[in-house]
């Protein structure tokens, strides 16, 4: 799942794909690199300028429409917590709703179910959208993640979302600190064991930055290490900025596990 943000204040790319032409060019690029899902966002996840639902719709709809038309074999996802934005995006061609704020708008899952599109079930511990965690505590963060995401997954299916199109996301950094993020990776097999496909959004996040004491621009190595760890433990999808590098990590771990063949074998065989 490639991240393409139509925001002027993204924590990572600082608005590099805010302009529609640049965003569409980036979509073409990540799809060529191997992305099978493109996740379009119109509002920065963290604190920042207020963005109305109308403005969010104006940001995401042109890109959703263009990508759905140009790349019909690719799933277009919309990263939103608002049901009215999701409804418009689905009508424009989106086929997955990435609800990163864990059902904050209770009608969002109903919209996904009504249109029978996919839905990502997140975990935030009840944090208000676009706020940062403060002195958060869980008796057992993994158990809490499993309970919240699987309950939302059951709700999604009951609302009409096709069961095979439901994913659960532990949602690193949202309502959690760095120790929680590491614990989730350490015990990710427990989340995978729920049977729901697991999506992980690890890319260049603060828990990686704090673990390695690296600024945002220097977190790729840490991201890829975490990705390799999670891939070998059955995580189904990764939401990322660096698509080509992530595809290589997934392909290499699969080859080491005997689940994928090398792509070009000539050395010592001729």
Taking the alpha carbons of 75, 3, 246, 190 in that order, is the dihedral positive or negative? negative
Is the model's pLDDT at 267 over the cut of 80?
yes
Look up the pTM and report it. Answer: 0.94
Known catalytic residue: 251? Answer: no
Give tens-digit pLDDT for 71-83.
999 999 999 999 9
HSE of 229 in the Cβ direction (CA atoms, 13 Å)? 16
Give tens-digit pLDDT for 205-235.
999 999 999 999 999 999 999 999 999 999 9
In a domain, 60, yes or no: no
Q: How confident is the model at residue 11 (pLDDT cuts 50, 70, 90)?
A: confident
* pLDDT for 215: 97
Long-range contacts of 68-73 (CB under 8 A, 24+ apart): 68/92, 68/93, 68/94, 69/93, 70/24, 70/27, 70/28, 71/27, 71/28, 71/31, 71/38
Q: How confident is the model at residue 14 (pLDDT cuts 50, 70, 90)?
A: confident
Tell me the three state secondary structure of residue 84: helix
How far is 121 from 172, CA to CA, in rounded Å?
A: 13
In a domain, 213, yes or no: yes
Q: Which of 26, 155, 187, 205 is catalytic?
A: 205
How far is 101 from 84, CA to CA, in rounded Å?
A: 15
* Token reading at 175: 């309502």
In a domain, 46, yes or no: no
The predicted model gives 166-184 an average pLDDT of 97
The predicted model gives 138-163 an average pLDDT of 98
How far is 117 from 112, CA to CA, in rounded Å?
A: 5
Q: Which of 82, 176, 187, 239 is catalytic?
A: 239
In a domain, 57, yes or no: no
Is the model's pLDDT at 12 over the cut of 90?
no
Q: How confident is the model at residue 142 (pLDDT cuts 50, 70, 90)?
A: very high
In a domain, 43, yes or no: no
Known catalytic residue: 14? Answer: no
* Token reading at 220: 């790729």
* pLDDT for 105: 97
Instruction: Read off the CATH number of the domain in which 228 is found.
Output: 3.20.20.20
Q: How confident is the model at residue 49 (pLDDT cuts 50, 70, 90)?
A: confident
In a domain, 45, yes or no: no
* pLDDT for 13: 81
Q: What is the dihedral of CA 50, 53, 54, 59, to 10 degrees?
A: 80
The secondary element (H helix, E strand) that includes residue 167 is: strand 166-168
* Domains identified in the chain, total number: 1
**Average pLDDT value for the chain:** 96
The predicted model gives 226-253 an average pLDDT of 98
Give tens-digit pLDDT for 82-117.
999 999 999 999 999 999 999 999 999 999 999 999
User: Do you know the residue count of the chain?
Assistant: 270
* pLDDT for 270: 76
In a domain, 130, yes or no: yes
* pLDDT for 169: 98
In a domain, 4, yes or no: no
* pLDDT for 9: 86
Domain with 145, as residue range(s), is 79-256
């Amino acid at each position: 799942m490639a991240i393409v943000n139509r925001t002027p204040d993204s924590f990572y790319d600082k608005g590099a794909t805010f302009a529609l032409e640049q965003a569409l060019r980036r979509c073409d690029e990540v799809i060529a690199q191997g992305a099978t899902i493109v996740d379009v966002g119109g509002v920065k996840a963290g604190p920042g300028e207020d963005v109305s639902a109308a403005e969010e719709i104006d940001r995401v709809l042109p890109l959703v429409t263009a990508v759905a038309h140009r790349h019909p074999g690719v799933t277009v996802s919309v990263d939103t917590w608002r049901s009215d934005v999701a409804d418009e995006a689905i009508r424009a061609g989106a086929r997955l709703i990435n609800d990163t704020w864990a059902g904050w708008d209770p009608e969002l899952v109903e919209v996904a179910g009504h249109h029978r599109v996919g839905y990502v079930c997140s975990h935030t511990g009840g944090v208000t959208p676009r706020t940062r965690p403060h002195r958060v505590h869980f008796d057992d963060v993994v158990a809490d993640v499993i309970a919240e995401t699987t309950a939302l997954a059951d709700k999604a299916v009951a609302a009409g979302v096709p069961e095979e199109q439901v994913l659960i996301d532990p949602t690193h950094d949202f309502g959690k600190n760095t120790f929680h993020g590491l614990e989730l990776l350490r015990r990710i097999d427990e989340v995978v064991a729920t049977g729901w496909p697991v999506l992980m959004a690890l890319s260049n996040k603060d828990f990686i930055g704090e673990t390695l004491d690296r600024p945002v621009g220097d977190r790729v190595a840490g991201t890829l290490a975490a990705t390799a760890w999670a891939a070998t433990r059955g995580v189904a999808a990764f939401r990322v900025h660096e698509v080509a590098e992530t595809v290589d990590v997934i392909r290499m771990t699969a080859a080491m596990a005997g689940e994928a063949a090398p792509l070009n074998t000539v050395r010592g065989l001729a």
